[in-house]
Amino acid sequence: MDGIRIDLQSDTKTRPTAAMRRAMAEAEVGDEQYGEDPTITRLCARVCDLLGAEDAVFLPSGTMANEIAILVHCRPGDEIVADASAHIVHFEAGGPAALAGAMIRPIAGKRGIFTAADLAAAIRPESRYAPRTRLVEVEQTANLGGGTVWPLDQLRAVVATAHAHGLALHMDGARLMNAVVASGVPAAEYARGFDTVWLDFSKGLGCPVGAVLAGKRQHIAEAWRWKQRIGGALRQAGILGAACLYALDHHVERLAQDHANARMLADGIAALPGVAVEPVDTNIVFFDVAGTGKTGDAIARELARRGVRMGAMTATRMRAVTHLDVPAAAIPEVISALADVLRGRGS
């Protein structure tokens, strides 16, 4: 967008670095659809190691990873239990209904995460009247919840409850590595007990394209059938896979910097009049501007004129996401631009 110097709209705004582009240019490639791309093969093996999974498949996007996983787990008329704020509820164009014929039963969790008791209450008793509860879906981190990290014991209790009811488990790990870096808990520990888990490479990890869906061998075999069916099977995808491998080597630990920047931003915003900042676990800062007398859209427009972009997720709830392309030095600029907007100063 013209004139935007600092783009906090999303961590998808990262652009591949010069070193990442070199790794892409030099990638060893083959025909991915035939299983002959050595770089994709290495990437999938690497993600299996990371997540403690049996098998994995490279996909063009995280949305495709969620939708394929739902197709693998659910039959028409089945129900998915997920937090009411989940990406599959709000941002996938109705895919669970349109593609898998599945319903979603939303749980009103706290900050995007729910408890084992919440889950138990949402599971349908066996009855010919009710949809069949089939799948439990969690987001690690919970995006609209505020970049919330699921505590490991709470996640384990949810997994145990799902297993006790014979339900499948799917993890939307768009920002799983943010949770890993923030908590120090290994990715495989978070993934334990889940049938399918995926990682997004095009968010904070800084790649242009790519997600890897991992899980049990039979689920990934079925996922491949869907990938083929909906046109997600690729050719010389190693160009993209090389970026993902580069990101695993160079862009994971640095997520801590994004988290520190998010906290710095939250502290600065909290000091402004009329603004209520939500807790910050990782790289996402939500704040409510109802007390300023302005709408989120109006504030976003005025910030954009000052070269700063962030999104209004509801009429008064704004979101700023830190990432690779937002250096620490940009944060004080963002805070002072917001302070100017709230004081009604001209740019």
Closest CA to 95 of 64, 61, 131: 64
Instruction: State the minimum distance, in angstroms, from the CB of residue 137 to ligand PLP.
Output: 10
Show contacts with ligand PLP in window 297-316 (CB under 6 A).
none
Shortest spacing between CB 175 and ligand PLP, in angstroms: 6
Rg of the chain (C-alpha set): 20
- Per CB under 6 A, the segment of 26-34, 104-112, 196-204, 252-260 that binds ligand PLP is 196-204
Q: Is 200 in the site for ligand PLP (CB under 6 A)?
A: yes
Min dist. Cβ of residue 343 to ligand PLP (A): 33
How many residues in total does the chain contain? Answer: 347
Q: Applying CB under 6 A, what is the total number of residues that bind ligand PLP?
A: 13
Kindly write down the DSSP assignment for every residue of 232-295, as one continuous string.
---SSTHHHHHHHHHHHHHSSTTHHHHHHHHHHHHHHHHTSTT-EEPP-SSSEEEEE-GGGTS-
Q: Which residues of 68-87 are buried (b: 16+ CB within 10 A; e: fewer)?
A: bbbbbbbeeebbbbbbbbbb
Write the binding mask 202 to 231 for ligand PLP: x where contact by CB under 6 A, - elsewhere: xx-------x--------------------
The yes or no reply on residue 143 touching ligand PLP (CB under 6 A) is: yes
User: By CB under 6 A, which span of 49-57, 62-70, 105-113, 180-188 interacts with ligand PLP?
Assistant: 62-70
Alpha-carbon torsion 326, 329, 331, 335, what sign?
negative
Rounded Cα distance between 45 and 53, Å, is 9
Within residues 76-115, the interface with ligand PLP by CB under 6 A covers: 87
Report the half-sphere exposure of 293 (CA within 13 A, side-chain side): 5
Residues 198 and 211: beta-carbon distance below 8 Å:
yes
Q: Which stretch binds ligand PLP (CB under 6 A): 44-52, 112-120, 198-206, 245-253?
A: 198-206
Q: Please report whether residue 62 would count as binding ligand PLP according to CB under 6 A.
A: yes
Selected binder of ligand PLP within 174, 176, 191, 334 (CB under 6 A): 174
63 or 283, CB closer to ligand PLP? 63
14 binds ligand PLP (CB under 6 A): no
Nearest in space to 220 (alpha carbons), one of 56, 58, 60, 41: 56
Residues that bind ligand PLP (CB under 6 A): 61-63, 66, 87, 139, 143, 172, 174, 200, 202-203, 211
